[in-house]
Structure 1
Amino acid sequence: MFLPAFTPKTIEDVLTLALTTKAHGLTANAAGLVSYYDSKEIIKTLIMVTDEIENTDVHTANGTSTRFFNLFMKYRSEVYPAKLVFISFLDNQHDQGRMYTEFLNANVPDVIQ
């Protein structure tokens, strides 16, 4: 995992990071949520910029190995019932991504793509 050039605070910041950050290899989508979960910091809306291909786990402060869906659900139940927005880079822009579909199948409210 690497730290971003800066911590995004606005939608414009998120989009700037999405356009300028170079990435390769494995993807741990939950990595961006771990510190907020561990510190119990409130985020009202989480914006996930992703290709929705998650292929590696992250570890929380207590050593629990997890992926994004499970960590986000724990965050919602233990910290704050945050909303989730997927900005998804998919082969077909009208498709529903894998991660978004997981939330749909679980009938999780306040999740959009």
Structure 2
Amino acid sequence: MSAVMEMRANRIELDKRWSKSFGSKVPKHIQYKLIQLALSWHEQMQADSHWKGSIGAARLSRFLKQTTPLITLSPGTRLMREWQGKVHQVTVLVKGFEHQGKAYSSLSAIAREITGTAWSGPLFFGLKP
């Protein structure tokens, strides 16, 4: 079985386990790894007699429903930010970002270059609330 086919089979199995555990479909914006972790946690809590019932599952389900989806930026999108009187423009590439003619792998690297300190790139460019 190829790695891609195995991953799809694993995802189908995770979706079934999620439906059985939580009584709903997997939220679309939840990443594969988070699904695995949530199911593991839920199954452990169900095995522990102190957590029997729906309290833990209900809390987890509410949390997962209120998480915001990741922002997806299409290649060609331009982000602008003014910093200390200078406007900085970043172009989204297929892989990474371009700022002042130089390619970067992350927005955080660009924010660090602009400010000289560690910043969350998405926060710096206004992509997080």
What TM-score range do you get, normalising by the shorter chain?
A: under 0.3
The structure where helix makes up a greater share of residues is: 2
User: Greater relative contact order: 1 or 2 (C-alpha under 8 angstroms, separation 6 or more)?
Assistant: 1
